[in-house]
Amino acid sequence: MKIQSSAELRNNYRKVADECIRSGEPIYITNNGEGELVVMSIQAYSEEQTRLKIKKELLRIQVEKAAGKFEYIPYDEFKERLGKSSRVAEDFDIVKDYE
């Protein structure tokens, strides 16, 4: 975890921005010794938002599965139900690697 003061951000914005972009990690900004902001690259922010969306969806699925709303379908059966000519079925070919 990298921590910088607000003065460092103000006086050396480009250096701080380049470090965020280079490392892909957030930088915590303090004001008078107290944490105030987190600065991160747009790429890192976008990736974090994607991870959060995936985690939220997986949690929703786990809750629904625990409530008995889902049944397990083997990959081949899933693909067959989806339809062999379906473009979506081709997109799911990567799933087979994780079965």
Distant-in-sequence, close-in-space partners of 23: CB < 8 Å, separation ≥ 6: 2
Which tens digit of pLDDT belongs to each residue from 2-41? 999 999 999 999 999 999 999 999 999 999 999 999 999 9
Instruction: For the chain, list the domains and their CATH numbers.
Output: 2-43 (3.40.1620.10), 69-98 (no CATH)
- Measured distance CA(22)–CA(18) in Å, rounded: 6
Q: Which of 46, 48, 27, 24 is nearest to 36 (CA)?
A: 27
Count of residues making up the chain: 99
* Amino acid sitting at position 42: I
**Beta bridge mates, 2:** 27
Please give the helix or strand (H or E) that residue 5 lies within, else none: strand 2-5
- Measured distance CA(16)–CA(93) in Å, rounded: 41
Which tens digit of pLDDT belongs to each residue from 27-86? 999 999 999 999 999 999 999 999 999 899 888 888 888 888 877 778 788 777 776 555
